[in-house]
């Protein structure tokens, strides 16, 4: 099992996300909750322990890149709309894919989203 797959599995169990979970649960955006868990693990040592902390900290570069390009609307609108339409289950998988792609800075994240843009346009054509 790859590190990204382990991240997705651990994050889903951490927040109780299943394949049928909706993005908003009782008024709370689960995409934002996923990103907050990653920030908490990075900014507050000891917030999570063991393997969970290690996996969540590995996703920090992906979280920063997501915030800059998707939440900041710097990426193509098609990609932004595609990612915003993902279920929380799929969003965990996306962050896991970014971990497996070894995103370590915002520039690599930009290239990841540009490649995603080419795939999304390829599906639409």
Q: Spell out the domain ranges in the chain.
A: 3-124
Token pair 């908490």 is at which residue? 40
Q: What is the pLDDT of residue 124?
A: 58
Comparing CA positions, the residue from 64, 51, 66, 69 lying closest to residue 7 is 51
Cβ(108)–Cβ(65) below 8 Å: yes
Q: Does the model's pTM come out above 0.85? A: yes
Question: In sequence order, what DSSP letters do the residues of 10-31 get, joined into one string?
Answer: HHHHHHT--TT--SEETTEEHH
* Residuewise pLDDT in 10s, the chain (125 residues): 899 999 999 999 999 999 999 999 999 999 999 999 999 999 999 999 889 999 999 999 999 999 999 998 888 888 999 999 999 999 999 999 999 999 999 999 999 999 998 887 776 55
How distant, in Å, are the alpha carbons of 18, 33, 65, 69, 80 from that of 9? Answer: 10, 15, 21, 25, 24
Provide the total of helices (H) and of strands (E) in the chain, helices listed first.
7, 2
* Residue 11 CB-density burial (10 A; 0-12 exposed, 13-18 middle, 19+ buried): buried
């Amino acid at each position: 099992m790859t590190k990204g797959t382990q991240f997705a599995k651990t994050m889903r169990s951490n927040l109780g996300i299943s394949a049928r979970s909706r993005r908003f649960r009782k008024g709370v955006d689960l995409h934002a909750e996923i990103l907050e868990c990653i920030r908490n693990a990075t900014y507050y040592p000891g917030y999570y322990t063991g393997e969970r902390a290690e996996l969540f900290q590995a996703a920090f570069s992906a979280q920063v890149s997501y915030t800059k390009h998707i939440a900041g609307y710097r990426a193509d609108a098609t990609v932004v709309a595609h990612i915003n339409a993902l279920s929380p289950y799929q969003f965990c998988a996306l962050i896991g894919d970014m971990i497996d792609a070894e995103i370590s800075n915002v520039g690599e994240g930009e290239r990841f989203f540009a490649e995603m843009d080419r795939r999304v346009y390829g599906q639409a054509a």
